[in-house]
Structure 1
């Protein structure tokens, strides 16, 4: 199997965009985190993807109408960094699962309790590309990769074979996933994840609302992702209801809310009752 950017499909290549955004954030003096591995993980196409997103986000001839992607990504990364580290510090949650893992380097750049087992689930091409780019970098945790597609019928078995214990508490992060998959698939994944989580386990994810998929002002950014072959196809104005249907008790916060701001969100935060506005949610909570 090759591990060049050409081996990655459209959705897989968005992981290189995330790496490029994290490398750019690391170069800022006011950075919200430091990712010394991001520049290695960008690949040959990552900078071009970032340039397209920047052009759509900050158009030269008009005012910005879409969310500030660099600020959003920085806040999202820091928010989930804090979530994972906080939950890993609980002695009764020894397992972390990133699904999909993409070009994430938290296993390498953050310190983890000695008891933690850290699983990265993603497609074989993504993990092969990542392994080649990281060379001999050493993770700071008991790190295990699971090369399987989350839509496959047996990813749970592959995860368990890698050492995951469904009857032990765990912490799951579904980052940059749900808006790329159809509604039925989103429900199916949440159901399958819940089935391998012990009660009291924790989960976090990000998701957009319905209006973020349809508002004319979002079109410049939506067209970029659609042009790459990975359109945003699912959103919800009620993320709590979505997760509740599968046995989770969650809270949803928006970038710019006090716990998800870090002094970087540039736009007003619309009240939840306001309709016809774009939103992004950071969902986090517990498996009931």
Structure 2
């Protein structure tokens, strides 16, 4: 559509700043505590000893730290570490300079905000706010330190022992060095459960740490299912369902479709093109599926109609190859489900 500038180049037309874009930080501001010897050596251990799956936790934290105008996470930068912050910052800067339709990390910001909002809604829906929240593959998640909806909830973080240990050490360092009183646990309590969810005994370990199957629970699987082999991912979803029989439970999870896992065969395994059909076969019901960019999953961050996610969500989900450019349709589904026993309560 040409207005009064028929000679305006495509490039110039894209230069118009969008009102929805956040004020951009010109320089990366690193918290001082990142320079301390203890924090540096903890992050050096992560670089040297951790595999891709464990290190992805730092990438997520970097996304939350650098999208701080929408995600208020006071501990994310320290959990992410300097190298992850720098590399994501450089990518974001390039994207801004190139007027990219989506800026690096935006998916992470949207995903975080979606999980935050659905977690709060689930806790409110219980009526009794003293719920349990189980973060599976918790990584560098800091919800227990930042979400006020958790103040009467018990939060369980389930992850590899060495990850939970490093995380606890980083948080301890931050708390002791911080004159900033914001760094405090908001959740009623936080229990770290050292377990590998790919192994069959994680539910027992969770129960030994105080998880009560009879209590209302929100299960959070953010950024984790697609890293698991198909068999393990299914076992995790089945184990959760098996533990929801006598209580109100809500599952919050994100799923990649088949085209997304082909991005990188070595790191991503499990996919589901139709999680809203898969979950009912495992005993879940009231399944609600959103795609990034949907009304409940954009948070004002995906304003460009040329944005990859906006283009995808307007295509039927059965289409695997984008008709315009022949690229695979890589989708991320955000899914909320509850256990079917709830039908009697409603």
SS across alignment from 1:251:
strand
What root-mean-square deviation, in Å, do the aligned CA atoms of Structure 1 and Structure 2 show? Answer: 2.6
Residue 191 of structure 2 is aligned to residue 147 of structure 1: no
Identify the range of structure 1 (9-18 vs 238-247) with the bigger mean alpha-carbon deviation.
238-247
Q: Determine the C-alpha separation between the residues in 2 that align with 1:40 and 1:9.
A: 19
- TM-score, structure 2 length as denominator? 0.70
Distance 1:39-1:211 versus aligned 2 partners, 3 A rule: same
Q: Determine the C-alpha separation between the residues in 1 that align with 2:97 and 2:229.
A: 33
Question: What are the equivalent positions in structure 2 for 1:231-270 lying under 5 Å apart?
Answer: 231-249=267-285, 250-265=287-302, 266=304, 267=307, 268=310, 269-270=313-314
Instruction: Give the superposition deviation at 1:245.
Output: 2.1
Distance 1:156-1:213 versus aligned 2 partners, 3 A rule: closer
Deviations along 1:131-183, one digit per CA (max 9) or x if unpaired, are 11111343111111101111222111111111110122210110111111122
Q: Determine the C-alpha separation between the residues in 2 that align with 1:9 and 1:274.
A: 34
Q: Determine the C-alpha separation between the residues in 1 that align with 2:83 and 2:166.
A: 13
Q: Determine the C-alpha separation between the residues in 2 that align with 1:68 and 1:237.
A: 25
Out of 71, 81, 85, the residue aligned to residue 43 of structure 1 is 81
In the other structure, the counterpart of 1:72 is: 107
Consecutive unaligned residues of structure 1, counting only runs of 5 or more, are 215-221
Residue 330 of structure 2 is aligned to residue 278 of structure 1: yes
Q: Determine the C-alpha separation between the residues in 1 that align with 2:217 and 2:290.
A: 22
Q: Determine the C-alpha separation between the residues in 1 that align with 2:110 and 2:57.
A: 17
Does the 8 A contact of 1:32 with 1:75 survive in 2?
no
Question: What are the equivalent positions in structure 2 for 1:133-212 lying under 5 Å apart?
Answer: 133-135=170-172, 136=175, 137-141=183-187, 142-198=189-245, 199-212=247-260
Does the 8 A contact of 2:220 with 2:253 survive in 1?
yes
The number of residue pairs the alignment matches comes to 267
Deviations along 1:84-110, one digit per CA (max 9) or x if unpaired, are 122223334611111011101110011
Instruction: Give the superposition deviation at 1:80.
Output: 0.5
Q: Determine the C-alpha separation between the residues in 1 that align with 2:103 and 2:283.
A: 33
- TM-score, structure 1 length as denominator? 0.83
Instruction: Give the superposition deviation at 1:64.
Output: 6.9
Does the 8 A contact of 1:38 with 1:105 survive in 2?
yes
Q: Determine the C-alpha separation between the residues in 1 that align with 2:231 and 2:213.
A: 24
SS across alignment from 1:112:
helix
Consecutive unaligned residues of structure 2, counting only runs of 5 or more, are 1-40, 176-182, 321-328, 341-346
Q: Determine the C-alpha separation between the residues in 2 that align with 1:184 and 1:262.
A: 34
Instruction: Give the superposition deviation at 1:126.
Output: 1.0
Q: Determine the C-alpha separation between the residues in 2 that align with 1:273 and 1:158.
A: 38
In the other structure, the counterpart of 1:130 is: 167
Rg larger in 1 or in 2? Answer: 2
